Every structure is written in C-alpha cells, then in structure tokens.
Amino acid sequence: MRHRSVCQGRRGAVLVEGAIVYPVFLMLVFMLIIGGMGVFRYQQVACLAREAARYAAVHGSGWRKETGQTCPTSSAVQNAVLPLAVGMDPNNLSMQVQWVGQVSGTVQSWDSVNKHPLSVNTSNQGVVNRVRVTVTYQWTPQLYLVGSINLQSTCEIPMSF
C-alpha cells in the first residue's frame, strides 16, 4: 500500500509564494535603507545650519575689532562649513545668513550689515542681536521613486563676539 504525501498537491506553491513575497520583502528593505539615508541627510543639513550659525555668531563686530580682519561674507560662512557636507552635492546646497536685530525686529542679509553686526546693545544689557542661518539641500533618493526632496533647517543663535 502506498501512502500519499501530504505535500504532493502543493508542489509549486513554494515557488509561487516566494515569487510574491521576496520582491515585496526586498522592496521594503531597500525603502528602509533609503529612508535611513534621508534621515542622515537631514541631520547633516541641521548640523550645517548649526555650525554656520555658530561660525557667524563669533565673527561679528567684536571679532573684527579684536583681530583687525573684516567680517566674513555669507559665502565665506558657507565655505567655512562646507567641509562638513560629506557626500552632499555642493550644487544642491544653498545657505542664507541673516542678521536679526531684537530691539528693532529687523531682519537683514548678513552682507548688508556693513560686514560687522553688533553683538551687544549700547546700554550693555547683554546680547540682543542674533544670527539666523537657513540651509536648504535638494536630495534625490537613490530609488528615484519620489523625485527630489528639499531638506531645510534653520538655526538662530545670539551674537557672541
């Protein structure tokens, strides 16, 4: 007497199930990796904004008087932090540096403040002026499913020198 195997009617089932499950699984793994790379790029953009704001905050009028050098332009601020943009395309990176006066509430381009923004007010009540840096990066994911994504981060720090 011959016993029929229980799996005899399912000969091609593993192949069909594998053909459905494996591509979906691989696509999810790739999307997870690409999403992680997107989070990493955003963290880089935020780091660039913080570092550029720190650099500009310590290169104000006090620094100019102390060193005798001119204050950096917004492009010089960008060039100072560009080495931190490892793996990023510099052509897709833009940076806007602004000077924010707290008393008057004015927002001016960094280059229009005569290249020496003040760090303290005239009554010596502490720092009232701030520097605001906005970094934008146009990131294109490697799978090209969604097109380019604009990653943007803004950092505002009081002038300190």
Better pLDDT: 142 or 53: 53
Q: What are the boundaries of each domain within the chain?
A: 6-158
Question: How far is residue 141's CA from residue 144's CA, in Å, rounded to a whole number?
Answer: 6
Give the pTM: 0.78
Summarised one tens digit per residue, pLDDT across range 4-39 is 666 566 678 888 888 999 999 999 998 899 899 999
Averaged pLDDT of the chain: 83
pLDDT level of residue 120 (50, 70, 90 thresholds): low
Per-residue pLDDT, averaged over 114-118, amounts to 52
In the structure encoding, which two tokens stand for residue 104, read together? 């008057």
User: Which whole-number Å values give the CA distances from 68 to 85, 108, 110, 116, in the listed order?
Assistant: 30, 24, 19, 11
